[in-house]
C-alpha cells in the first residue's frame, strides 16, 4: 500500500482493486500519465494537479486514463464556463448557507450497507423566494467537494434520495431545461463522484413527466441507476436497508435533523445566518464526520442482501402498484 492509500481499510483497498482496477504498484505511473495529458488542453486552466486530486478522478473512472482526463478537463471547464457559481464558493456565502440550513443537501451520518454515503433532499423545502436553484446546486457541489476528500468515499461512492412529497406543480414549473441541464452537467459529467443510485420517492405524475423530458440528456449508466419508487418503501428498502435510513423513509433511525449537515460545515459557532460569518474548516469537518460513518457498514456487511425477502418490508398502508423500480441497477 502506498501513502496515497493510507487510511483506507483493508476491505476498501481490496474493493478498489477488484472494482476500480486500482493497483498500488502502478498508482504513481497512472497519475502521471493523466497529468501528462494536460498539455493537450491549453484552453483549460487546471488549477490543481497534485497526486491526491488526480487520484479521485482515476477512481471515479475505474482507472481508465483517457476517461479520467476527460472528466478532469470537464471539471475545470465547467467551473470556467460558470464562473459566477464558484465566486464565494464557501459555506458562509449567504445563498449557500440558506440552502444548507434548509437541508440542501441533507447528509446522513452513517453510510448504507455498502459504505456509500447517503445524501437526501426534501424537494418541498425549496422556497423560491429564499433559495435560487443555482444556490441549491452550489450547496450540493460544495458538500460533495468536502465529502470527496475522504478516500473511502472516493471508492465506495454515494447514494442520493429525493423525496418529492408535497412538491407542488408550481414548484416543478420552475425546474426549467436550462437549470436542469446545469445540474446534470455539474453532477453527471463534471464531478469525480461514484453515484451508486438515485432514488425518487413519493414523486407525483409531473415529476414522472419531467424525468421523461430530461432522460435523453442522461448517460445510459446514469439512467440505469435511477429508481422511481413512488410511495412504496419496500423497493427502496431492498436496495438500502432500513437500518441505514431515518424514519421519514421507513427506516429504523430517528428522524433526520435538518440542520445537522449545515452545522457540520459551518462549525460549532453556527447560530443563524445574520450572525455567522466564518467559512468552513476542512479539518473541523473531517473530525465532525468522525469514525461513526463505518458503524452501519460494519453491522450490515455480515447480512446478505438475500435476507430481504420480497414483501417483508412492505408497509400495509402503502400502494402496492409500484412495488418494483422502473429502472433496474446493472
Instruction: Using the CB atoms, write b or e for 127-148: b if 16+ within 10 Å.
Output: eeeebbbbbbbbbbbbbbebbb
Average pLDDT over residues 197-221: 91
pLDDT in tens, 50-99: 999 999 999 999 999 999 999 999 999 999 999 999 999 999 899 999 99
Structural domains of the chain, with CATH: 3-81 (1.10.8.20), 88-322 (3.40.525.10)
If one compares 25 and 313, the residue with the highest pLDDT of the two is 25
The per-residue pLDDT for 292 is: 47
Residue 309 has pLDDT above 80, yes or no: no
Mean pLDDT value across the chain: 83
Q: Is the pTM of this model over 0.85?
A: no
Distance CA 305, CA 318 (A): 22
Alpha-carbon gap, residue 240 to 263, rounded angstroms: 26
Which pLDDT belongs to residue 57? 98
Mean pLDDT of 96-112: 94
In total, the chain counts a number of residues equal to: 330
Q: In what order do the strands lie in the sheet with 195-201?
A: 106-107, 117-122, 158-163, 195-201, 226-228
Amino acid at each position: 500500500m502506498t501513502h496515497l492509500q493510507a487510511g483506507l481499510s483493508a476491505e476498501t483497498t481490496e474493493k478498489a482493486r477488484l472494482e476500480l482496477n486500482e493497483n498500488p504498484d502502478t498508482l504513481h505511473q497512472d497519475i502521471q500519465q493523466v497529468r501528462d495529458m494536460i498539455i493537450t488542453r491549453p484552453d483549460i486552466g487546471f488549477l490543481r494537479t497534485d497526486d491526491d486530486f488526480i487520484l479521485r478522478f482515476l477512481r471515479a473512472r475505474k482507472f481508465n486514463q483517457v476517461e479520467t482526463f476527460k472528466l478532469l478537463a470537464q471539471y475545470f471547464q465547467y467551473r470556467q464556463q460558470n464562473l459566477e457559481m464558484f465566486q464565494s464558493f464557501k459555506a458562509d456565502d449567504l445563498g449557500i448557507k440558506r440552502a444548507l440550513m434548509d437541508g440542501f443537501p441533507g447528509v446522513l451520518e452513517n453510510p448504507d450497507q455498502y459504505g456509500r454515503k447517503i445524501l437526501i433532499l426534501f424537494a418541498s423545502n425549496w422556497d423560491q423566494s429564499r433559495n435560487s436553484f443555482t444556490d441549491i446546486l452550489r450547496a450540493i457541489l460544495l458538500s460533495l467537494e468536502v465529502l470527496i476528500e475522504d478516500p473511502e468515499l472516493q471508492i465506495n461512492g454515494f447514494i442520493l434520495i429525493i423525496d418529492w412529497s408535497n412538491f407542488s406543480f408550481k414548484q416543478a414549473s420552475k425546474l426549467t431545461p436550462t437549470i436542469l441541464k446545469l445540474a446534470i452537467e455539474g453532477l453527471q459529467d463534471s464531478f469525480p463522484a461514484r453515484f451508486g443510485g438515485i432514488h425518487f420517492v413519493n414523486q407525483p405524475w409531473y415529476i414522472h413527466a419531467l424525468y421523461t423530458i430530461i432522460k435523453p440528456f442522461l448517460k445510459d449508466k446514469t439512467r440505469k441507476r435511477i429508481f422511481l419508487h413512488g410511495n412504496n418503501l419496500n423497493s427502496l428498502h431492498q436496495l438500502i436497508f432500513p437500518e441505514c435510513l431515518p424514519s421519514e423513509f421507513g427506516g429504523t433511525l430517528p428522524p433526520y435533523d435538518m440542520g445537522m449537515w449545515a452545522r457540520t460545515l459551518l462549525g460549532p459557532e453556527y447560530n443563524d445566518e445574520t450572525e455567522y460569518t466564518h467559512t468552513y474548516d476542512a479539518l473541523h469537518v473531517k473530525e465532525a464526520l468522525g469514525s461513526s460513518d463505518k458503524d452501519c457498514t460494519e453491522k450490515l456487511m455480515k447480512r446478505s442482501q438475500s435476507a430481504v425477502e420480497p414483501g417483508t418490508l412492505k408497509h400495509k398502508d402503502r400502494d402496492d402498484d409500484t412495488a418494483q423500480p422502473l429502472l433496474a441497477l446493472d
